[in-house]
């Protein structure tokens, strides 16, 4: 066959891949492992993408066990380094500086490929294909997965099934509660398994065990969400997933009272004259670091700030007009000159 030329329609957005990876690491690696590494590189270029084992599994249509095997393979190859806590829960991933075979190891590393900003997820185990099949043989579990697939309007992916089994088998959600969780999230406009997991973990952390308790919590959440959106002047729509995540973090993870969150929204609007969840998040993060719990704490913080900032002496700015030396004119004489010039 003849040679061909590779062309590109443009380079508006690119993810760079090291030639060392292409020359030495990719040829002998499993293709699924390569996909995981390439997706990690993509996440570095787009911070809005969620970085978690379940997120990777969902994005690549693999199981979480598949993702973990790929990560461990690349760690053995020296391509990345996994950081885990005392319970062996993955907390961060560092993409290492690649080297050709035979070169001495290098300690220089890139910045971490982001840690998830959501609440810490309880330790969970992955399920093998045989275990998932065994769950599918159970009538109650099979009915649960069928109902959830109907709510989500599609056939469940392996990672979605694993997530639902995690709540059912490990966090001991009843089938009624788990069905209501999926129904609630879909009615909110999100079929994302990431959002379903995030809401479910918040319920687990709040020790919600019944549908009635979940409904009571969601009613309060609706009121708080509406108040935040109204403070931002966004009365004509529901929050998108990223905005919901901010609201849940402020009110649930960080535990701010609603009045403090609304104050941060108000200050954002005063400063930017537009809604910005990211800017409000920076305000609340600063207050959190400074142990602010009430509006009185905010007022005290404002007073301390005003005292710390030295007063600037006002000085009249000199301009070309203020420096201009005024002259005395004889307006009668000027009028006579003007009449003579016209005669």
DSSP letters along 7-59, please? --S--SS-----HHIIIIISTTS-HHHHHHHHHHHHHHH-TTS--SHHHHHHH
Q: Decide if 209 contacts 216 (C-beta within 8 A).
A: no
Least confidently predicted of 61-65, 83-87, 150-154, 270-274? 83-87
Going by their DSSP bridges, the two strands 90-96 and 80-84 should be labelled as antiparallel
Q: Which residue has better confidence, 309 or 15?
A: 15
- Smallest CA-to-CA distance from 301 within 288, 287, 311 is with 287
pLDDT value, residue 263: 95
Q: Decide if 113 contacts 43 (C-beta within 8 A).
A: yes
Number of H helices, E strands in the chain: 15, 3
Least confidently predicted of 64-73, 104-113, 124-133, 300-309? 104-113
CB atoms near residue 307 (< 10 Å): 8
Least confidently predicted of 94-108, 237-251, 256-270? 94-108
Residue 2: is its pLDDT beyond 50?
yes
Q: pLDDT-based confidence at 241, cuts 50/70/90?
A: confident
pLDDT value, residue 121: 60
Going by their DSSP bridges, the two strands 80-84 and 109-112 should be labelled as unpaired
Helix 277-289 to helix 241-248 angle, to the nearest 10 degrees? 20
pLDDT value, residue 208: 92
pTM above 0.85, yes or no: no
Average pLDDT over residues 43-60: 72
- Smallest CA-to-CA distance from 127 within 176, 81, 62 is with 62
pLDDT value, residue 107: 39
- List the structure tokens of 174: 């009843």
d(Cα 118, Cα 116) in Å, to the nearest integer? 6
Tokens 């809401």 correspond to 199
Tokens 């479910």 correspond to 200
- Smallest CA-to-CA distance from 196 within 91, 65, 50 is with 50
Q: Decide if 114 contacts 43 (C-beta within 8 A).
A: yes
How does the average pLDDT of the chain come out, rounded?
79
Least confidently predicted of 96-105, 168-177, 313-322? 313-322
Residue 50: is its pLDDT beyond 70?
no
Average pLDDT over residues 227-248: 86
Residues 6 or more apart whose CB falls under 8 angstroms from that of 140 comprise: 175
Q: Which residue has better confidence, 85 or 269?
A: 269
- Smallest CA-to-CA distance from 136 within 148, 153, 152, 121 is with 148
Residue 118: is its pLDDT beyond 50?
no
- Smallest CA-to-CA distance from 45 within 67, 74, 10, 14 is with 14
d(Cα 201, Cα 111) in Å, to the nearest integer? 28
């Amino acid at each position: 066959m003849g040679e061909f030329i590779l062309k590109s329609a443009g380079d508006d957005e690119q993810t760079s891949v090291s030639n060392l990876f292409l020359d030495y690491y990719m040829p002998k690696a499993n293709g699924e492992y390569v996909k995981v590494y390439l997706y990690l590189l993509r996440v570095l270029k787009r911070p809005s993408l969620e970085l978690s084992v379940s997120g990777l599994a969902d994005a690549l249509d693999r199981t979480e066990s598949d993702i973990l095997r790929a990560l461990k393979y690349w760690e053995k190859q020296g391509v990345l380094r996994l950081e885990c806590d005392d319970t062996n829960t993955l907390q961060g991933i560092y993409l290492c500086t690649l080297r050709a075979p035979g070169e001495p190891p290098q300690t220089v590393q890139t910045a971490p490929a982001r840690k998830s900003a959501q609440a810490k997820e309880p330790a969970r185990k992955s399920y093998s294909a045989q275990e998932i099949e065994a769950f599918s043989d159970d009538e109650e579990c099979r009915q649960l997965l069928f109902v959830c697939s109907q709510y989500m309007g599609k056939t469940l992916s392996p990672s979605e099934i694993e997530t639902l089994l995690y709540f059912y088998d490990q966090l001991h959600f009843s089938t009624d509660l788990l069905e209501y969780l999926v129904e609630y999230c879909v009615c909110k406009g999100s079929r994302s398994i990431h959002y379903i997991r995030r809401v479910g973990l918040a319920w687990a952390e709040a020790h919600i065990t019944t549908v009635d308790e979940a409904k009571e919590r969601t009613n309060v959440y609706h009121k708080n969400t509406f108040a935040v959106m109204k403070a931002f002047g966004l009365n004509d729509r529901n929050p998108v997933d990223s905005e919901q995540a901010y609201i849940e973090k402020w009110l649930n993870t960080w535990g701010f009272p609603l009045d403090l969150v609304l104050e941060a929204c108000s200050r954002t609007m005063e400063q930017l004259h537009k809604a910005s969840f990211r800017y409000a998040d920076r305000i609340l993060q600063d207050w959190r670091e400074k142990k602010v719990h009430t509006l009185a704490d905010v007022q005290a913080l404002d007073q301390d700030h005003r005292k710390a900032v030295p007063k600037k002496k006002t000085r009249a700015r000199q301009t070309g007009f203020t420096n201009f030396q005024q002259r005395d004119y004889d307006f009668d004489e000027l009028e006579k000159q003007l009449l003579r010039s016209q005669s």
